[in-house]
Structure 1
């Protein structure tokens, strides 16, 4: 394609004194793109701007070459799965999805709604109200209403929350199917393992900024190559700390108290392989080995600090 399906240029979004998104730029084409970031990172705000639900304070957002905030006809080409439920509790799944089809002006809203529900493995003849549905079923109803009108751009905010493992696999396969058919599918998540299943291009958002972007394998390598800090407890802390430094598996160590060593390393895999044999050679007993910065929040802080 000569133009991206989504183009975000230098976008900043303020809510009063709060800067939710700061100077974010990216282009997205057909296929599946994952928006990865911790809760509160600004992912939902970015997705809302893509759908025209809120306007950027600065910068521009273009979807299919048009402004989603000003061009209301563009909604016919966008499907949204919001993080919030937002379902009409007193309706059946068929009634809810059929209403979405009617609002988009489809010729056969009932048939389209039934096909969309079948795609997400829900029974269109289920007469229960959606208020009685489980979290996973409600998520699938939201996905059905987002794809009922066969949109070109599909935006999904944490769509796998509440789904069981089999349903997750089915939804991931569906997202890939839509992407392979030329649709632009943007999926947000705060779970690294979920994004790995997408096997796609990744945009990493942290503290309202775009911290990294690229192929998932490249992003994962960048995350794994960051400095790591570990807590190690042993009966011979000074001897073991010195040996780890001498072996080159630790870049810095700090001994605290009678049994605690804080270790910084840039090669976590090599350190884990070396620490037990090194302790054994010294006759030291390892009582604890615990990573202090293995959570996603620390990863995102590291990525932001690199920019």
Structure 2
């Protein structure tokens, strides 16, 4: 098991600060690196993978600096967002070349195993120039996996993949995470991170904005109101009771949707009081759904902060 430690890291290019004083730990399991385009995700990944050095701070893999240390590539597999492929080669030749560069004892067997892992064997004999974007992504993944790395760094790995390919890749990454590997993937697509990552790191404008489970992050944002959609057998009566008890700051009865939309700034009090209020007023609750607990909502709050 391997861990990447980023400590007070900044990276600037001339007068442009791409990453600003970031500290985080990437542990075994699946971590999603979330942020809008231009947030500094790719720069951070390049420093983790040893392709760029920090302007200040340190990036280490199991306590060893990643910058100018070719030994880390025995442990790390990286899939950059940029194409970085030789179109005149077949997929098999491309992966085989990577196996030979790693000095593997049986590069042919390693290449075939990696290609089978990403389910690209039927197309392995075709030239890369004939591949779709999704096929290219999967063959790049095979090249990154050819030496069976303990750490996998992926920059926007789902770009260009169709729904079936996305599901296959997600299943593969889940297996790797369950095996104790350290898998980090960047994305600006909220659904991908929410479905796959057990832990998230959020980057906004080069800064580290949040870390952890996205629901836990949302609850830590006590200065933001929490919104819920409620359904009951008496929405108007429930609205009146909630307002009378002072546990909500705003209510809206939606007749078309047969729902009650409420907003509260006291998450703890609301969750404890709601069932008691419903019971005391003999109102049956059918549904209580958070309206802003999704990763999309959390991300939106963080970006606007």
Normalised by the shorter chain, which TM-score bucket?
0.7 to 0.9
Distance 1:20 1:106 in 2: 36
Matching residue of 1:90: 88
Matching residue of 1:31: 29
For residue 64 of structure 2, give the secondary structure of its aligned residue in structure 1. Answer: coil
CA contact (8 A) 1:199 1:216 kept: no
1:298 shift after superposition = 4.0
Matching residue of 1:73: 71
1:163 shift after superposition = 1.1
Gaps of 5+ in 2: 228-242, 251-262, 271-291
1:221 shift after superposition = 5.0
Listed as ranges, the matches of 1:66-215 within 5 Å are 66-123=64-121, 126-215=124-213
Against the structure 1 CA distance between its residues 123 and 172, is the aligned structure 2 distance closer, same or farther, given a 3 Å change threshold?
Answer: same
1:250 shift after superposition = 5.9
CA contact (8 A) 2:29 2:183 kept: yes
Distance 1:224 1:135 in 2: 42
RMSD over aligned CA atoms reads 3.0
1:123 shift after superposition = 1.7
1:198 shift after superposition = 1.0
Residue 20 (structure 2) aligned to one of 9, 19, 22: 22
1:64-86 Cα offsets, whole Å, 9 max, x none, are 22111122111121100001111
Distance 1:92 1:112 in 2: 16
1:296 shift after superposition = 7.9
Distance 1:25 1:104 in 2: 31
1:27-46 Cα offsets, whole Å, 9 max, x none, are 12111111011111000000
Matching residue of 2:6: 8
Count, aligned residues: 254
Listed as ranges, the matches of 1:218-257 within 5 Å are 218-219=216-217, 221=219, 226=224
1:234-286 Cα offsets, whole Å, 9 max, x none, are xxxxxxxxxxx9999666xxxxxxxxxxxx9869xx9xxxxxxxxxxxxxxxx
